[in-house]
A = this chain, B = another copy of it.
């Protein structure tokens, strides 16, 4: 017997009435899909299309994590986050990761390990974030985007965990990345 979710997938893929681009910005595109539901219902989905991005857990030889602090217009707050950035057209995630490390924290990683990734908001947005562990850091600056004014912050893993659990780190990708690193450390003990 097919599962409900599988039936939903088959149904939706066969019942698309229209798919229209509503808005094309420099980063995101908004698409509206209309899908015939059960009976006479028509379901309306607004989907944000995003090029995808990378997020890195940079750990130096002393075990410090390197984070960035920046003002975010969307949240209207200064947030403490792992370094991250958007994929350029046809850019391999691992190259994007090295580029963003150099732009945001002024290091490149001699050792970089892919740790899978995740969708940030799959209810309405297709953004997929590739997660990397970045180790054996060496100084290497690239000029960042001049619209970014970023502070670098170094933390021990325990300090970072406390900041999550006290509600000072409130960015989902950063929480995912730091906990994943904790698990890797714990498993290696």
State the oligomeric state as a number of copies.
2
Please measure, in the bound complex, the distance between the C-alpha atom of A36 and the C-alpha atom of B164, giving whole angstroms.
33
For window 5-28 of chain A, which residues contact chain B by CB distance below 8 Å?
Answer: 5-9, 11-12, 22-23, 25-28
Give chain B nearest CB distance to A96 CB in angstroms: 14
The SS class assigned to the A binding surface is mixed
For window 135-150 of chain A, which residues contact chain B by CB distance below 8 Å?
Answer: 146-150
* Contact between B7 and A149, CB atoms less than 8 A apart: yes
Nearest opposing residue in chain B for A187, CB measure: B165
Please measure, in the bound complex, the distance between the C-alpha atom of A123 and the C-alpha atom of B73, giving whole angstroms.
8
- Contact status of A73 and B47, CB under 8 A, knowing A78-B6, A78-B9: yes
* Contact between B176 and A172, CB atoms less than 8 A apart: yes
B-contact bits for A32-55, CB 8 A (1 contact / 0 none): 110101100101111110100100
Give A contacts to B, CB under 8 Å: 3-9, 11-12, 22-23, 25-28, 30, 32-33, 35, 37-38, 41, 43-48, 50, 53, 69-76, 78-79, 81, 84, 86, 116-129, 146-151, 161, 164-165, 167, 170-173, 175-176, 179-180, 182-183
